[in-house]
Amino acid sequence: MVPFVLWVLGILWLPPTLMISFISLFRPNHKAETSGRTVLLTGAKMTKCLQLARMFHAAGDRVIVAETALYKWCGTRFSSAVSKFLILPDIGKAGENYCRELVTFANREEVDLFVPVATPKSAYFDALAKPNFPKHTEVFHFDNDLVDILDDKHKFIGLAKQFGLTVPESHLFEDKEELLHFSFKSEKKYILKKIAYDPVYRLDLRTLPHAGWQERVMALPIDSENKWVLQEYIEGDEVCTHTTSRMGELNLYICSASSPFQVNYKMLHLPKVKEWVRSFVKGLGATGQISFDFILKENGAVIPIECNPRTHSAITLLHNHEEAIAAYRKSGKSVNDFEPGKNSGHTYWWYHELYRLLTSYNLSRAKMLLERMLTGKEAVFQWHDPWPFWFNNHVSIPYQIIKKFRQGTVWTRIDFNIGKIIVPGGD
């Protein structure tokens, strides 16, 4: 039902958005002074790649973006901020061709800076390719061994514990029988999570133990190749953060309220969360982008539940903070402890909010959604750079739907934020 409604909305809104895109071409466009630097970004299908592309372009950089063939019609490709679009091979199991092409692109295009806007799957292979990049290319990403630790929900908790930070109880399982015989503490509840990112299982937030939990466990793929973690369930408010660090120094920080399906961002100023993040990145002493999910307990304790060594969509809050791109500079003008200001407001994605509005049967909720759309910043659309919005919503997404239909692939929903159709077992 949800995909069908979004499909109909896309068709109905195609003519007006196309007209707006043409009209916006006649608005004046500010041209930045050229810095002579070439920047390569991956993950072009995602809004966060578009955000970085616009910021690097505003700083005078030549921006090249790359993506796999399925997303060749993604909006970022058609942004006025992008000089060139390159197609990457699918990662596959070993990722050899993917890594080789990244390095080839860096050599051929004389790339000065590579910033992977990674998916959960590509983050590791971006790091694996890092040692093979030419010497003149800075790779703004952690090493592969560190990415492996940070992306592992159990190893990450262990590392945070080593740094003396607050953590939840965590247990690793590679065998169903072992989990079935786990001794649950009567005063606690637990959340079961797959170690590897999974867009479907990650939305199953039922706490254990519950009625019939044994049958649920038996139906899950739990083995040495598919490890799961049983994590203490913490009551409280969930927040997410995005951080850019250089050699352990926190130089860019964003915090927002969070949810399992996150498509709304607004800056929150929570000193305890920021200090937890600062302590962790200082302990790492490394350079890269890192995101966290936290639960804030009523007593004020900050409890981490997940870490992602990659760009967070919360950077859409930098839509009017072009100077923040200095966080990615190795030398020259840089920033320290940069945060979005009050004028960043909040960001959202038009079709997600439109669907919620049209399917809301509560008047007060409808008013809230309408106000959010009228007062916030649509994360993709810009008057002086309109085509990403049009191609993302009216070309790339329909193209993916048609491809999935022809292949007979089952899919669950559309995520306009990351510009893709969500399928079971996807990245």
Q: Which residue is listed with tokens 């796999």?
A: 68
- Report pLDDT digits (tens) over 175-233: 888 888 888 888 889 888 888 777 666 667 778 888 888 888 888 888 888 888 889 99
Residue 32 is classified by DSSP as P
Answer yes or no: are the C-beta atoms of 265 and 210 closer than 8 Å.
Answer: no
Q: Hey, is 72 helix, strand or coil?
A: coil
The continuous run of DSSP H or E covering 8 comes out as helix 2-24
Mean residue pLDDT across the chain: 88
Q: Beta strand pairing status for 170-173 and 38-41?
A: unpaired
Helix (H) or strand (E) holding 208: strand 207-208
pLDDT of 371 > 70? The answer is yes
Q: Which long-range contacts (CB under 8 A, 24 or more apart) does 128-133 make?
A: 128/95, 128/99, 129/98, 129/99, 129/100, 129/102, 129/103, 132/99, 132/103, 133/102, 133/103, 133/106
Least confident of 198-202, 265-269, 319-323, 363-367: 198-202
Candidate from 24-33, 85-94, 262-271, 381-390 with smallest mean pLDDT: 24-33
- The closest of 349, 352, 402 to 376, measured between CA atoms, is 349
> Mean of the pLDDT values across residues 315-335?
86
In the DSSP assignment, the letter for residue 253 is E
Instruction: Name the H helices within 134-270.
Output: 144-150, 153-162, 176-180, 213-218
Coil, helix or strand for 98?
helix
Per-residue pLDDT band at 23 (split at 50, 70, 90): low
Name which of 82, 88, 52 is nearest 65 in CA terms. Answer: 82
Q: Would you place residue 1 in the very low, low, confident or very high pLDDT band (cuts 50, 70, 90)?
A: very low
H-helix or E-strand containing 113? strand 113-115
Residue 134 has pLDDT above 70, yes or no: yes
Q: What integer pLDDT is reported at residue 426 of this predicted model?
A: 65
Check whether 27 has a pLDDT greater than 80: no
Helices 271-284 and 153-162, axial angle in degrees (round to 10): 90
What is the C-alpha end-to-end distance of the chain, expressed in Å?
Answer: 23
Determine the Cα–Cα distance for residues 329 and 219; give it in Å rounded to an integer: 48
Question: Which residues are CB-contacts of 259 (< 8 A; sequence separation ≥ 6)?
Answer: 238
Q: What pTM value is reported for the model? A: 0.89
Q: 242-251, pLDDT tens digit by residue?
A: 999 999 999 9
The pairing of beta strand 249-257 with beta strand 138-139 = unpaired
Q: Which amino acid is at 147?
A: V
Say if residue 272's pLDDT is above 70.
yes
The secondary structure of residue 33, as a DSSP letter, is P
CB-based contact 170:231 (threshold 8 Å): yes
Q: What is the pLDDT of residues 68-116, one digit of tens each?
A: 999 999 999 999 999 999 999 999 877 899 999 999 999 999 999 999 9
Cα(261)–Cα(248) distance, integer angstroms: 30
**Band of residue 423 on the pLDDT scale cut at 50, 70, 90:** confident
Concatenated DSSP letters of 361-406: --HHHHHHHHHHHHHSEESS--TTS-HHHHHIIIIIHHHHHHHHHH
Rounded CA gap, 6 and 13, in Å?
10
Q: What is the pLDDT of residue 2?
A: 47
Rg of the chain, C-alpha, whole Å = 21
Report DSSP state, residue 203.
G
- Which spans in 203-267 are helix H? 213-218
Contact (CB, 8 A) for 35 and 59: yes
